[in-house]
Amino acid sequence: MDKELITFIKRHHVLSICSLEEGKTWSASCFYAFWEEECAFVFASDENTRHMKNIVKNPFVSGTIILETKEIGLIQGLQFEGSAKKACMDAKQLYFEAYPFARALFPKLWQIEITYAKFTDNRLGFGKKIEWRAGE
């Protein structure tokens, strides 16, 4: 994964994910920890939420991470696709290192294995895009 893309992901902590059920989409925002070695996001969410009910049925998701700014030259944003599943032990440990207070809440943890990402960074030139695909 490209260095600029990784740096951007590590500077942020909230992503928006979109799930799908019977042709209808639903979005949710979640705190995340980035698992660089696995190119995965780790997040907490209750199984009873609408987005997680969708994800359990259909694990394919898309999402975004953005830098909120009105300055055109500073615009940055990530769009991604991936597949979600229950977090493994290494992913859980990573999440609790990022959010130690979360342990007390006994959250359900999930991981999204990123399969495709497109990063827009206007600091590198207007509309500059960096794309990444798993396995490339």
Class of domain 3-133: mainly beta
- Predicted confidence (pLDDT) per residue in 102-122, tens digit: 988 899 999 999 999 999 988
Coil/strand/helix, residue 32: strand
pLDDT at 129 over 80: yes
pLDDT band at 71 (very low <50, low <70, confident <90, very high): confident
pLDDT the model gives residue 124: 76
- Tell which wins on pLDDT, 128 or 66: 66
Query: Which amino acid is present at 116?
Result: Y
- Predicted confidence (pLDDT) per residue in 7-40, tens digit: 999 999 999 999 999 899 999 999 999 999 999 9
Instruction: Report the run of H or E that residue 91 belongs to, with start and end.
Output: helix 89-98
The position carrying tokens 């590198």 is: 124
pTM given for the model? 0.91
- Predicted confidence (pLDDT) per residue in 48-60, tens digit: 999 999 999 999 9
Percent of the chain with pLDDT over 70: 100
DSSP 94-127: HHHHH-GGGGGG---EEEEEEEEEEEEEGGGSTT
